[in-house]
Amino acid sequence: MDKLLSVESLGDIPSLLQRYASGELTPSRMVEAVHAEIREDSDHVWIYTLPLESLRQYALAAEEKGMAAMPLYGVPFAIKDNIDLAGVPTTAACPAFAYTPQRSATVVRRLIDAGAIPIGKTNLDQFATGLNGTRSPYGACRNAFNPEYISGGSSSGSAVALAKGLVCFSLGTDTAGSGRVPAAFNNLIGYKPTRGWLSTRGVVPACRSLDCVSIFALTAADAERVLEVAAAGYDAEDIYSRQRKGSDNDFSLQRFRFGVPRQQQLQFFGNNESERLFTETVAKLQALGGEAIEIDFTPFQEAARLLYDGPWVAERYAAIQQFFDVHSDQVIPPVREIIAGAHRYSAADAYNSLYRLHALKRQADYIWTDVDCLLTPTVGTIYTIEAMQEDPVRLNANLGYYTNFMNLLDYAAVAVPAGFQNDGLPFGITLAAPAHQDERLLHLAGRIQQAYGLSPGAAGVPMRNEYPSEKVSSQVPPQKLQFSPPSDPSDQIRVAVCGAHLSGLPLNGQLTSRNGRLRASTTTSPDYKLYALPGEPPKRPGLVRVDRNEQGVAIEVEVWELPVREFGSFVAGIPAPLGIGTITLADGTAVQGFLCERYAVADAEDISRFGGWREYLQQLGKSRGLC
C-alpha cells in the first residue's frame, strides 16, 4: 500500500480532508491504495468491490469539482448490499435475487454528489433478516477484533469495513437493530435516525414501514457530517419520507436526565463483563452531569416481542413476495423459515397488533416526561460464530432484547462504544430519544466518546479530543477547520502506561476522568521485561528495566498527558509493588511511567515475548477458550 496511506492511517473524515488540503494525498492516490488493500477478504466483508478504473473515475470527478464545493471530497464509504448503487448488482445477500439498478438510492446519490467515493457493496444477513452476521451465502462476516466471534448483523460488512479502516464511514439499514448491534461489536458509532429522515428509495425493504438507512462512523461528529449531506431534503419518491424537525433542547447543557431499566429488567445473558461495563457507563454519564432515573422497561419489552411474533413478519414476506413464492429454495435457513412464518397471520392479527403497539407506545412515551434520553446496553452479550450457528434463532433473539422496539416506537438512537471486556471484545451502549431529537443524541454521544477517549474501530485511529460545539458549514474548505489547541506543556505531565490503564482497558477511566489525553502509542526502548504478577485472573503487569547483561525487549506503552493538578491523586491510587519511575521510550526520550519493584517479579510469569499487555490478554483468552 502507498507509503502515504495505510489502512491504519485512513482515519476519520476530518483527518483525511486535512491530508487532501495539505497536498499530502489526492483522492486518486487514495482509491489506488484502498483498492490494493481490499483484494484480500478473508473476513467476508465484501460482496462486490468496484474495479480500480471505476474508483478512479469517481476520484477524478471529485478532483475536478474541488474541495470547497464538496463537503465529503474524496471520502471513501461502503454500502450495504441491499442499497442500490447505479450499475452495480444489488443482491441482498441472495445471488438468485440479484438485479442491477439504473440509478442509485437517494441517499447514495446525495453522498456521491457531495464528493464521497463508493468502494463497494458489503455483506449482510440475507434480506436484512438477522442481527448476527452469519446468515449469508457469501460467508459469515467476522468480528474486527476476534474472527471467531460474530460481527453483528444484518449490516455486518459495513461495520467491519469501517472498523478495519478500509473506509471512513459506511451505510447500513436498521429495522430491528441492524445498524446498532454491529456498531457495538466493532467499537463504532451506529446512528439510527428518526424514521424517514434518510430516504429509503432504492433500498430493498425488510419491513418497509419500519426500515431506516443507518450510518456507521468512527465518531459522532462524523455521523453528523454524513447526516447533513444524506438527509438534505424531503424525498417525494419515498412514501415514508419525513421533513426534519429541529430540537428545542441540547445535550451539550451541563445537566440532563437519562432513563435506565430497573435492575431486574436488565439482561446480560450470563455475561458479567457486559454488566460491569454498563454499570461503569451509568457512572460515566453521571460524571458528565447526568441524573439516572429508573424506568419501567416493560412496555419496551412487549413492543419488541411484537416484531417477530406478529404481522411484521408478514411485512418481510410482502417485501419479496414475488421472488419468495417462486424461489424460496434459494433463501437460506433460518431466513426462509422466518419469512414463511408470515402465513400464520391474518389481516385481523395485523390490526390487533397495531392496536396493541399504539397502546404500548402510549405507555412507553410516558418516560419522556421524566427523562431526556434512554440508556441501555446495545447488546447484552456477544457469541462466537460457532455458537450462533448451532442455536441461530434463540441467540439472535437475545441480541435484539434492547433493539427490536426502537423503530416500532418511532425513536431515534445512537450506539456508542463504551469500553472493552477483559478478553478484548468491545462493549457498547445505546442512547434513545423521541423522533426528531437526533442532533441531541449525537452531541451526547460525542461527549461520551470524548470522556472515554477510546480509539474508535479496530485500526488504531486516534480519538479527537473534543466534540465540535458548532456545526461546520459544508461550504467551508476543510483546511479551515479548527480543532482544540495543544495543551500548555508547563501545566501537563506525561506518563507512560503499559497495563490496565491502556485505552479500552478497565482502568483507562482513571486517566480520562482526570482530563487525560492520549499523546502517543509507542514502545519502550528494547531493554525492558514485562511480567504478569501473581493473581487470578492476572490483573496487573510488572514492567522492569533489565541490566546491560540481560536480554530485554521493547514493550507496548501509551503516553498520556495529565494536568499537573491531577497527577498527585492519580499516583496516590497506584498499589505496591507498582510505582512511578522514569521510562525510556523507543525514540530515546524519557517520561514518567509505571515500573515494578524487582522483588515482586521473582515468582511472576515473564510475558515479554508478547510485546505488551494487550497481546498477552488476547492469547490468554484464546488459551482459555474465551476468544
Mean pLDDT, the chain, rounded, equals 89
The pLDDT of residue 468 is 41
Catalytic residue selected from 151, 156, 178, 199 = 178
For the question of residue 158 being annotated catalytic, the response is no
- pLDDT category, 248, cuts 50, 70, 90? low
- pLDDT category, 92, cuts 50, 70, 90? very high
Report whether pLDDT(391) > 70. Answer: yes
Convert the pLDDT of each residue in 215-229 to its tens digit: 999 999 999 999 999
The pLDDT of residue 449 is 95
Average of pLDDT values for 590-614?
Answer: 89
For the question of residue 80 being annotated catalytic, the response is yes
The pLDDT of residue 537 is 59
* DSSP state, residue 343: G
Write out the three cell numbers for 48.
462486490
Beta carbons within 10 angstroms of residue 470's beta carbon: 7
Write out the three cell numbers for 399.
441480541
Average of pLDDT values for 365-385?
Answer: 97
Convert the pLDDT of each residue in 531-582 to its tens digit: 998 876 566 899 999 887 788 999 999 998 888 777 777 877 788 888 888 8
Q: How far is CA 381 from CA 182, 192, 275, 278, in A?
A: 12, 20, 9, 11
Nearest to 217 by CA among 446, 374, 400: 446
Average of pLDDT values for 54-76?
Answer: 95
For the question of residue 154 being annotated catalytic, the response is yes
The pLDDT of residue 5 is 55
Read off the amino acid at residue 261: P
Q: Which residue has the higher pLDDT, 596 or 567?
A: 596
> Could you tell me what percent of the chain has a pLDDT over 70?
91
- Separation of alpha carbons 10 and 46, rounded Å: 18
The pLDDT of residue 194 is 97
- Per-domain boundaries in the chain: 7-255+371-470, 489-623
Average of pLDDT values for 83-109?
Answer: 98
For the chain, how far is it from start to end, CA to CA, in angstroms? 30
- pLDDT category, 254, cuts 50, 70, 90? low
Catalytic residue selected from 104, 136, 151, 154 = 154
Catalytic residue selected from 80, 121, 284, 529 = 80
Report whether pLDDT(136) > 90. Answer: yes
The pLDDT of residue 504 is 74
Q: Is-contact 78 163, C-beta < 8 A?
A: no
- pLDDT category, 521, cuts 50, 70, 90? confident
The pLDDT of residue 466 is 41
Convert the pLDDT of each residue in 433-476 to its tens digit: 999 999 999 999 999 999 999 999 998 887 765 444 333 333 32
Average of pLDDT values for 495-514?
Answer: 85
Q: Which of 47-61, 254-268, 444-458, 476-490 has the lowest mean pLDDT?
A: 476-490
Report whether pLDDT(167) > 70. Answer: yes
3-state class (DSSP) for residue 407: helix
The pLDDT of residue 96 is 98
Which homologous superfamily does the CATH classification assign to the domain defined by 7-255+371-470? Amidase signature (AS) domain (3.90.1300.10)
Strands (E), 123-244: 169-174, 189-192, 212-217
Reported CATH class of domain 489-623: alpha beta
- Separation of alpha carbons 618 and 291, rounded Å: 36
The pLDDT of residue 616 is 87
The pLDDT of residue 597 is 87
